[in-house]
């Protein structure tokens, strides 16, 4: 998690604009996302491809790249157009609009399972009662919301550099709206929409969190949740429409609005809410049960287009579901980490308070459904069940060690776990295949992510050597550390806007009608090397016991991981490829890497005690 500064000192090279508020004060001086040179991208791309294709395939790719990057070659006019776009004063980030459309808003498959992500919270032993747990989470979330709304939240920093905070505007009082061709975000004024939405048994309720100019205290919120538990009646699962493919939901939303004028008001109440609290009638216990509940549940009792959904189960377990289109995981990670930090470390007053007698009951949000809308709901529910049935999810909660020991090995924790994943995949398949890891580019204006290509010649050499029992341990260690160094180097370059995937994407976007598609894009290695057989990402918190999302191709795995002080956590999702077996190999790989490096650690002289 990117740290925040206690003091408001101005980092070198940045200017403050306090008229924008504390949170956005550096936005105007954030550097722009760079455009790498063709030569640089060509060189880096070839190195990444070499690790995953045969020598004959590599020769073909090399010829295509050389034709693309040479002076007067196929890439030169595209590069000039991209540089012109990057220099356009009206465009803050040459990639942002394109990427938001291509990767998220224009993507028509269901957000669950393919886009959204979840966090699973540690248990709160003081709040086993779900109404009490929901009230604490809501109170803490409202404290964070107040800082975002008034702009007083301190920006995030990474290596002392301010990070882009513009995506925070899409966190509260916002909703993704389905539309033909591409969805769009709709933002509502916070001051005019001082309510949250609570859903129980598929029935939605509008709960104002400010009454007579005063915010509801934790006991008043608890009373509101208790009333919802008492009065909620099973309702048709209108929310399941938001988990259908986007074209079905677009058409169904139009029919919903046309069916009755009340439906448009109901939609507006939900879409304008600060956030959603889902009170589920489930009692998950195991990590897999929790992960499945927060990731998808039964597809109902949700509004998956909302950026923020906090989920509380009947046994007091809780978690979070995030919609991905306008925000990456780092802002919601900060929100959720903050919420739990306030609660677990008693940094917010959650003691019982007096409850105002004049508070009204929560107001049901009622939809008027006709046969056409009911059919759309039934279709969406069946489609969702079929989607989820084709997937499997396994959690590997590895307790052998964590970040503490990895640092004693003098290794980057993230690179270490990436090589653990590579080794596990090699054990399972006898080869390495293209792997995606998310790298943040939020140091740039409107920055989001770039791809770290985790497979390198160095990582492949390490995996092969490790699995060859004739290779001396010292040689395996040497190859392992070379693989770590290469991974760290690529990650740093990607975070600095010098990966290959977004640059090649941008160049291709600038092809004009009638222009021939350059050979680099027709080369089979282009599609293969960006087919993510492993889609991976790390977000870590001592307050979470799970975090995850789906694979991105049918033949691949989605592996979300957390690196905590004394444990590792892997959430493994795939389409019936053997998630349990992958979990086994991850555990085996983690243990073998510890055993590989431990002799060198043990051999180090002890530091004298002072």
The string of pLDDT tens digits covering residues 465-516 is 999 999 999 999 999 999 999 999 999 999 999 999 999 999 999 999 999 9
The per-residue pLDDT of the chain, averaged, comes to 96
Neighbouring-strand partners of residue 310? 277, 320
Per-residue pLDDT of 29-51, as tens digits, reads: 999 999 999 999 999 999 999 99
- The pairing of beta strand 195-200 with beta strand 203-208: antiparallel
Q: What is the mean pLDDT of the segment spanning 306-326?
A: 97
Within 13 A of 258's CA, how many CA atoms are on the CB side?
A: 9
Task: Output the CA torsion 214→218→219→221 (10° steps).
Answer: 70
State the pLDDT at residue 10. Answer: 80
Question: Any idea what DSSP says for residue 430?
Answer: S
Per-residue pLDDT of 82-131, as tens digits, reads: 999 999 999 999 999 999 999 999 999 999 999 999 999 999 999 999 99
Residue with tokens 């942002």: 96
Residue 317 has pLDDT above 60, yes or no: yes
The whole-angstrom separation of Cα 114 and Cα 100 is 15
State the pLDDT at residue 7. Answer: 45
Q: What is the mean pLDDT of the segment spanning 286-299?
A: 97
Which position among 195, 296, 324, 333 bears the catalytic label? 324
Q: What is the mean pLDDT of the segment spanning 324-343?
A: 96
Closest CA to 506 of 152, 122, 41: 41
**Per-residue 3-state assignment (H helix, E strand, C coil) for 454-484:** CCCHHHHHHHHHHHCCCCCHHHHHHHHHHHH
- How far, in Å, are 549, 550, 565 from residue 451 at the CA level? 17, 17, 26
Per-residue pLDDT of 393-446, as tens digits, reads: 999 999 999 999 999 999 999 999 999 999 999 999 999 999 999 999 999 999
- How far, in Å, are 405, 424, 484 from residue 481 at the CA level? 16, 17, 5
Enumerate domains of the chain plus CATH numbers: 124-389 (3.30.559.70), 392-499+531-603 (3.30.559.10)
Residue 609 has pLDDT above 70, yes or no: no
The whole-angstrom separation of Cα 106 and Cα 93 is 19
- How far, in Å, are 26, 152, 187, 334 from residue 20 at the CA level? 9, 10, 18, 21
Told to judge if 466 belongs to the known catalytic residues of this protein, a careful annotator would answer: no
pLDDT band per the 50, 70, 90 thresholds, residue 6: very low
The whole-angstrom separation of Cα 480 and Cα 466 is 9
State the pLDDT at residue 2. Answer: 52
Helix/strand/coil for 343: helix
């Amino acid at each position: 998690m990117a740290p925040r500064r206690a003091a408001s000192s101005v980092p070198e090279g940045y200017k403050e604009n306090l008229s924008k508020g504390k949170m956005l004060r550096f936005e105007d001086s954030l550097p722009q996302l760079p455009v790498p040179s063709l030569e640089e991208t060509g060189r880096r791309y070839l190195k990444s491809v070499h690790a995953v294709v045969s020598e004959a395939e590599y020769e073909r790719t090399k010829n295509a790249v050389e034709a693309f990057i040479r002076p007067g070659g196929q890439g030169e006019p595209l590069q000039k157009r991209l540089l012109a776009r990057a220099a356009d004063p009206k465009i803050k980030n040459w990639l942002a609009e394109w990427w938001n459309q291509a990767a998220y808003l224009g993507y028509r498959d269901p957000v669950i399972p393919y886009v959204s992500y979840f966090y699973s919270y540690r248990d709160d032993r003081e709040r086993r009662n779900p109404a009490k747990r929901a009230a604490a989470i809501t109170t803490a979330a409202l404290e964070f919301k107040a800082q975002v709304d008034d702009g007083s939240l301190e920006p995030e920093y990474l290596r002392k550099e301010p990070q882009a905070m513009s995506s925070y505007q899409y966190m509260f009082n916002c909703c993704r709206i389905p539309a033909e061709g591409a969805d769009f975000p709709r933002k509502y004024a916070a001051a005019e929409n001082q309510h949250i939405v609570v859903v129980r048994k598929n029935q939605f309720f509008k709960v104002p969190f400010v009454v007579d100019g005063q915010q509801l205290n934790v006991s008043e919120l608890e009373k509101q949740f208790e009333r919802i538990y008492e009065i909620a009646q099973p309702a048709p699962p209108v929310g399941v429409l938001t988990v259908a493919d986007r074209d079905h939901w677009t058409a169904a939303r139009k029919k919903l609005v046309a069916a009755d004028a009340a439906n448009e008001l109901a939609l507006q109440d939900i879409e304008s809410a600060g956030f959603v609290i889902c009170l589920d009638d489930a009692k998950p216990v195991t990590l897999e049960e929790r992960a499945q509940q927060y990731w998808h549940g039964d597809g109902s009792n949700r509004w998956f287009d909302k950026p923020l959904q906090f989920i509380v189960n009947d046994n007091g377990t809780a978690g979070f579901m995030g919609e991905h289109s306008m925000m990456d995981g780092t802002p919601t990670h900060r929100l959720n980490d903050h919420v739990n930090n306030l609660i677990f470390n008693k940094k917010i007053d959650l003691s019982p308070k007096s409850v105002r007698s004049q508070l009204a009951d929560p107001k049901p949000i009622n939809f008027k459904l006709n046969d056409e809308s009911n059919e759309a709901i039934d279709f969406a529910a069946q489609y969702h069940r079929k989607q989820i049935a084709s997937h499997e999810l396994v959690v590997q909660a590895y307790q052998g060690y964590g970040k503490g020991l990895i640092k004693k090995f003098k290794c980057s924790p993230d690179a270490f776990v990436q090589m653990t994943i590579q080794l596990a995949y090699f054990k399972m398949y006898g080869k390495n295949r293209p792997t995606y890891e998310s790298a943040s580019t939020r140091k740039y204006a409107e920055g989001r992510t770039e791809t770290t290509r985790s497979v390198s010649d160095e990582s492949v050499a390490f995996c092969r050597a490790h699995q060859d029992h004739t290779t001396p341990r010292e040689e395996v260690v040497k190859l392992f550390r070379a693989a770590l160094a290469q991974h760290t180097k690529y990650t740093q370059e990607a975070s600095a806007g010098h990966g290959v995937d977004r640059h090649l994407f941008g160049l291709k976007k600038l092809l004009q009608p009638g222009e021939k598609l350059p050979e680099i894009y027709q080369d089979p290695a282009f599609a293969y090397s960006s087919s993510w057989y492993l889609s991976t990402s790390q977000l870590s918190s001592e307050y979470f016991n799970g975090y995850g999302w789906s694979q991105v191709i049918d033949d691949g795995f989605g592996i979300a991981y957390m690196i905590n002080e004394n444990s590792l956590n892997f959430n493994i999702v795939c389409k019936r490829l053997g998630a349990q077996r992958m979990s086994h190999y991850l555990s085996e790989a983690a243990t073998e890497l510890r055993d590989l490096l431990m002799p060198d650690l043990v051999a180090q002289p002890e530091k004298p005690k002072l």
